[in-house]
Structure 1
Amino acid sequence: MRDPYTILGVSKTASVSDIKKAYRKLAKQYHPDQNKDAKAAAKFAEINSAYEIVGDEKKRGQFDRGEIDAEGKPRFQGFENQAAGGPGGFAQDGGYEFNFGGGRGGFAGGGFDDILSEMFGARANRRGGRESAPRGSDLQATAHVPFSVWALGGKIRVELAPGRVVDAFIPAGIAPGKNVRLKGQGEPGPFGGEPGDALLTVAVDPHEQFRADGKNIRVDVNVTIYEAALGAKVRVPTLDGSVDLTLPAGTTGLRSFRLKGKGVQVREGAGDLIVQPRIIMPDKIPADLEAALLKLRDEGYDPGR
């Protein structure tokens, strides 16, 4: 790494307050939340490393005396007879030890995590250190959700990128166009930072039978003319199987039937399945049926049009 004074743009005789002021200015300029340039993250990490040296009174002194390098690593000083336990001295057991003092974050005038927290809030505090590198980018993808999965809720497989497939849970009834966030499934963070998220835009595939109506679902059911006229039990498809529906005699296409709780299974309360009969005439009307219909017409039957 380059000379930390040069990185921060201060002289070796700069005061503690001047060093802190220079660091604040540069950190604000190159922080990844403020600067989207591809090289900003590397510059930001370099600034943090420089301040870790010259922003700490003990480490600054050790660097100025040549005891540590610009990365905080000890420089070999030889085996001069210095006081035991001092920088580069002999330990009491005869072994050689380096005692540089001052842990990370023990900077004069406050650590750089504190400074970043002042400027950018708690999020920057979590990410401000050299180990806490910038967060990765979010990924965008479209989730094509089968109608039944959308209505009932469940898991689907989504391709985030070529060769990269994940399982995603789709909550029942989520509005099309809304996003489902998959934490940590985005791009990896540079310098070992936390990964971004995957944002899935929901697109609901149409169904051949069912239609959404808010949290209700509508379905058309074919009914013969005699079933409608005389009454009958007919099979009705639902999202989780078929059920029998009893049609009363005289059922018309103007009347619908409601199956409670068979609609979209939203958390606030399931919707209903609305069944709409579709009365189907035979291709060829038998003579006796034709005669009955003609008689009905001649008697002046009025449907109320």
Structure 2
Amino acid sequence: MADPYQLLGVARNASDEEIKKAYRRLAKKLHPDVNPGNKKIENQFKEATAAYDLLSDPEKRQRYDRGEIDESGQPRGFGGYGGYRRGAGGARRARDFGLDEETGGPEDVFRDFFGFGNRQRAGMRMRGADVSYQVEVSFLEAALGSKKRLNLTDGKSLDVTIPPGTQTGQTLRLKGQGLPGAGGATAGDAYVEVLVADHAFFTRDGFDILLEAPITLYEAVLGATITVPTIDGKVALKVPEDSNTGTQLRLKGKGITNPKTGQRGDQYVRFVVTLPDQVDSDLRSAIERWAKTHSYNVRNKLSNP
């Protein structure tokens, strides 16, 4: 565990009240009930709680400052422990926060302070805490819109509407779906971060879609009509004669809907000239004959670095 002063973000000469306030701020941010399923934040909460357990006990704090015990409260040279305990220090903290000794652990401090859990102060009205979730959707579900089932912390489930055009990292607010308030106050909100999975061949650029489409050597030279996918289904696309790798065509209105304007972006199809997996003797001979009388330089741009 790191230095408890650093974990709580206080100076080494911080007062008891400053340490208490620092722990309250961290508890509000890191408590597992506010971050369900997030193991990283849960571990941070445990470390902050252990740091508060040490620094809120005057005797432990003095011994730590003198170097007699380590960050886990153990004598120097012995293994530490994680989490927090409900010993004499817990009872002392309970009195600090106006709680009884039977429920005076740091988690109960958090519950009492933020207004949820089984214990509520008489006459207190406090809005419930907000909670955070993550939901993963496919590229097409985000582009076209969809519904995803979300399991809430209270055991209930809710169908979340993913609007068309949703981008990865976008957060949806579910009003009143957070933790219940105290004393009849309103519940908090749930904030759902959407994570969009990569697609096998579509790439998003704002509200446009990019697609690389392989074409054969003869399609590139002679032109052709090919079939390409879009998020709405397959469409026919004409490959112009003498197309090259990098030649790009636009499919207007085949991109993603902008939720603010309601307008759709475009899809851009970039051709990639592709040889067959195995070049047979006929193709090789034809190219050799053609090359003898049709020399051309494709690397002029590289001649002057």
1:163 to partner: Cα distance: 4.4
CA distance in 2, matches of 1:146, 1:165: 20
Of residues 285-294 and 272-281 in structure 1, the stretch that sits farther from structure 2 once superposed is 285-294
Name the residue aligned to 1:45: 123
CA distance in 2, matches of 1:293, 1:162: 70
CA distance in 2, matches of 1:277, 1:40: 58
1:292 aligns with 2:286: yes
Give secondary structure in 2 for the equivalent of 1:302. Answer: coil
Name the residue aligned to 1:68: none
> Which of 286, 297, 301 lines up with 1:302 in the alignment?
297
> Which of 275, 281, 286 lines up with 2:269 in the alignment?
275
1:228 aligns with 2:302: no
Give secondary structure in 1 for the equivalent of 2:241. Answer: coil
Q: 1:220 and 1:227, CA in 2 relative to 1: closer, same or farther beyond 3 A? A: same
Name the residue aligned to 1:254: 246
Amino acid of the residue matched to residue 127 of structure 2? Answer: R
Residue 139 of structure 1 contacts residue 160 of structure 1 at CA under 8 Å; is this kept in 2? Answer: no
Give the gaps of 5 or more residues in structure 2.
1-97, 99-108, 301-305
**Runs of 4+ off more than 6 Å:** none
Name the residue aligned to 2:88: none
Q: TM-score, normalised by structure 1?
A: 0.55
CA distance in 2, matches of 1:162, 1:197: 13
Amino acid of the residue matched to residue 243 of structure 2? Answer: T
Give secondary structure in 2 for the equivalent of 1:289. Answer: helix
Matches within 5 A, 1:102-251: 133-161=125-153, 163-251=155-243
Residue 148 of structure 1 contacts residue 239 of structure 1 at CA under 8 Å; is this kept in 2? Answer: yes
Residue 247 of structure 2 contacts residue 270 of structure 2 at CA under 8 Å; is this kept in 1? Answer: yes
CA distance in 1, matches of 2:113, 2:214: 65
Q: 1:45 and 1:188, CA in 2 relative to 1: closer, same or farther beyond 3 A? A: same
CA distance in 1, matches of 2:284, 2:242: 18
CA distance in 2, matches of 1:174, 1:215: 10
Percent of aligned positions that are identical:
35
Q: 1:40 and 1:209, CA in 2 relative to 1: closer, same or farther beyond 3 A? A: closer
Name the residue aligned to 1:118: none
1:242 to partner: Cα distance: 0.6
Residue 140 of structure 1 contacts residue 160 of structure 1 at CA under 8 Å; is this kept in 2? Answer: no
Amino acid of the residue matched to residue 137 of structure 1? Answer: A
Give secondary structure in 1 for the equivalent of 2:247. Answer: coil
CA distance in 2, matches of 1:169, 1:183: 13
Aligned residues: 186
Amino acid of the residue matched to residue 270 of structure 2? Answer: Q
Q: TM-score, normalised by structure 2?
A: 0.55
1:212 to partner: Cα distance: 0.9
CA distance in 2, matches of 1:212, 1:265: 12
The structure that has the greater radius of gyration is 1
Give the gaps of 5 or more residues in structure 1.
1-29, 47-132
Of residues 227-236 and 148-157 in structure 1, the stretch that sits farther from structure 2 once superposed is 148-157
CA distance in 1, matches of 2:190, 2:114: 23
CA distance in 2, matches of 1:172, 1:40: 36
Amino acid of the residue matched to residue 179 of structure 1? Answer: T
Amino acid of the residue matched to residue 273 of structure 2? Answer: I
Q: 1:201 and 1:281, CA in 2 relative to 1: closer, same or farther beyond 3 A? A: same
Residue 149 of structure 2 contacts residue 158 of structure 2 at CA under 8 Å; is this kept in 1? Answer: yes
CA distance in 2, matches of 1:142, 1:304: 49
1:291 to partner: Cα distance: 2.3
1:303 to partner: Cα distance: 3.1
Give secondary structure in 2 for the equivalent of 1:180. Answer: strand
Deviation readout 1:174-217 (Å, 9 max, x if unpaired): 34223100112111223333221110012111111111112111
1:246 to partner: Cα distance: 0.6
Give secondary structure in 2 for the equivalent of 1:172. Answer: coil
CA distance in 2, matches of 1:272, 1:39: 51
CA distance in 2, matches of 1:222, 1:237: 12
Q: 1:304 and 1:254, CA in 2 relative to 1: closer, same or farther beyond 3 A? A: farther
1:37 to partner: Cα distance: 6.7
CA distance in 2, matches of 1:162, 1:144: 21
Report the aligned-residue RMSD. 2.6
